[in-house]
């Protein structure tokens, strides 16, 4: 498994750093964000180290979509009315951790969370 020894998300994927696991597949790991924007805010990361979407191999696409849908379905069953998917790529776009990751942010009408669109 390609990893970056100092990357916090690689450490989480290797289970060296404790996280609250939401879902796991062969190549992806979903866990609760430590600084959630809303209750249930989940990060979805590849287990291997890829810096951003540009590095992520296309062959992971279906598996990534499947885990997004599984986590989204869990959040909807918890009473959320929708969810946003956010992925920042490169520092200029707000990426802070240089390990590809998608934020799944559960939403309810009138929750006060602002998004693009």
Task: List active site positions.
Answer: 101
70: CB partners within 8 A, 6+ apart: 23, 30
Q: How many CA atoms lie within 13 A of 2 on its CB side?
A: 11
State the Cα–Cα distance between residues 95 and 90, nearest whole angstrom: 5
Give CA 8 to chain center in angstroms.
13
Q: Look up residue 79 and give its two tokens.
A: 């009473």
Q: Which tokens is 76 given?
A: 């909807």
């Amino acid at each position: 498994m390609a990893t970056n020894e100092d990357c916090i998300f690689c450490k989480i994927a290797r289970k060296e750093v404790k996280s609250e696991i939401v879902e796991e597949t062969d190549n992806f790991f979903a866990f609760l964000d430590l600084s959630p924007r809303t209750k249930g805010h989940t990060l979805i990361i590849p287990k291997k180290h890829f810096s951003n979407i540009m590095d992520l191999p296309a062959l992971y696409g279906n598996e990534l979509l499947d885990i997004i849908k599984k986590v989204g379905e869990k959040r909807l069953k918890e009473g959320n009315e929708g969810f946003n998917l956010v992925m920042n790529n490169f520092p200029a776009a707000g990426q802070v951790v240089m390990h590809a990751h998608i934020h799944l942010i559960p939403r309810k009408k009138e929750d006060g969370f602002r998004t693009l669109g």
